[in-house]
Structure 1
Amino acid sequence: MEAQKFTMLHEIDVLRSTPSTIKVKVLKVWSVKDNNKTNEDFLLEMVFMNELGNRMQSTVFKQDIFRFKRYLNENATLTIVNPILGSNASNYKVIDCPNKLVLNSSTHVNPCSQFDGPTFGFKFYSFKSVIDKEIPLKATIDIIGHVVHVFKDNNSNLRDVKKMQD
């Protein structure tokens, strides 16, 4: 049996003649409430990531939420057939990408059991690459810390550490 061919997020073409099939992991899902009906969602927004680590924002409008909501859970892996590519005209872009996917009535979504992409929705950069400004200009980074000294694990308590610093 031949393996299914998936289109990568950066390869989706507006002018394609055949429907694209993508394999993605759902990184984040949030709803935007309807201003007129406070108990209803106006749309769902998501961030998808493919197996190469490329990310793209996606939208499901109110009339199609019932078709997709059960599949759109964070960390779910999905195959999506025939998503629509549109311009991301939002003033608040979660992903630095000019386009976004729209799931509509012609889109089909199914769970996927195999995803060989990154475990997390972010890329790791070395501290040196941040200092040397080698990372992409618009990359979002979070610096947790920089290790300057490592103590032996000898079950020492805080007083022992303070003595070593004096």
Structure 2
Amino acid sequence: MARLHEGLKELTVRFSHLDPPLQITNGTRRERRERKGKAGFRYALTSWKKFMKAEPILDCSSRMEQPAITLLKNLNLNQDDYTIKVRIVRLWSRAAFNDSRKVYCYDMILMDEEGTKIQAFVLAKTAREYEHLLKEKQCLFIRNPSLGENRQKVKYVHISTKINLNSNAIVSVCDEPVGTEWGFDFSPFSSVVQDPTDDNKSFKSPIGILTFLTLIYNTDMLFI
């Protein structure tokens, strides 16, 4: 039997163009295949790419219950089955080593509904099925990504772990807004100038939005 993507196992497909409409599960929509004299059955829709290209399918719904959402602050390295609801606050790409015109991977800063942020990345070849969803301000459900230590020298968020959207991750659109649109963090200016090297304050930007900070006027009042 062909390898089946986890997200398609419990899928219910409805053929609305038929009279009467026909509703079946992906498990019952099988095709008989013969190979080397041996006959067998397999799932007709084994990947999301095939699912999206199935023109007769006009309506579909998943029978799986919406999994519980895990907040970013509650993630730990021992988890292997969880779903997060996040907004892409920042996104940038890295070019392939042998061809600067091709994208090797995407780096992201994700934010949940509490405003907690985490770094994430995905290889371009892994993200082909949902690459069109990778854009700033986009809200997403991400199920079963892998989690590891963030060993980058320059870190853009406070959380010490990093998310990898591997081949097992399931990415889908979240229609409700998550967190604030721009994802800004604010700190008192006095605390910034006292110790701007404090790691508890994030002023590093992957796209150079804030690169320099200084105290120009030392006054209690400003007249305009």
Q: TM bucket by the smaller chain?
A: 0.7 to 0.9
Identity percentage of aligned residues: 27
What is the match of residue 88 of structure 1?
150
Tell me which of the two structures has the higher relative contact order, counting C-alpha pairs closer than 8 angstroms and 6 or more residues apart. 1
**Structure 1's 126 and 96: CA in aligned 2 closer, same or farther, altered over 3 A?**
closer
TM-score (norm 2): 0.56
Name the counterpart of 2:221. Answer: 148
2:120 to 45, 58, 76: 58
Larger Rg: 2
Question: How far has the Cα of 1:10 moved from its partner?
Answer: 1.8
Deviations 1:20-77 (Å, cap 9, x if unpaired)? 1000010111111011122211111111011111111101024303123211100011
In the alignment of these two chains, the number of paired residues is 147
- Determine the C-alpha separation between the residues in 2 that align with 1:72 and 1:14: 24
Match of 1:155 in 2: none
Give how far 1:88 is off.
1.5
- Cα separation, 2, equivalents of 1:46 and 1:139: 19
Query: Aligned letter for 1:9?
Result: L
Structure (1/2) with the larger helix percentage: 1
Per the TM alignment, residue 149 of structure 1 is displaced from its structure 2 partner at its CA by: 3.8
CA distance in 1, matches of 2:68, 2:214: 38
Partner of 2:68: 5
Structure 1 residue runs without a partner (length 5+): 152-166
Residue 79 in structure 1 maps to residue 152 in structure 2: no
| Structure 2 gap ranges (5+) | 1-64, 204-209
- Quote the RMSD (CA, aligned, Å): 2.8
TM-score, with length taken from structure 1: 0.73
Aligned residue number for residue 78 of structure 2: 15
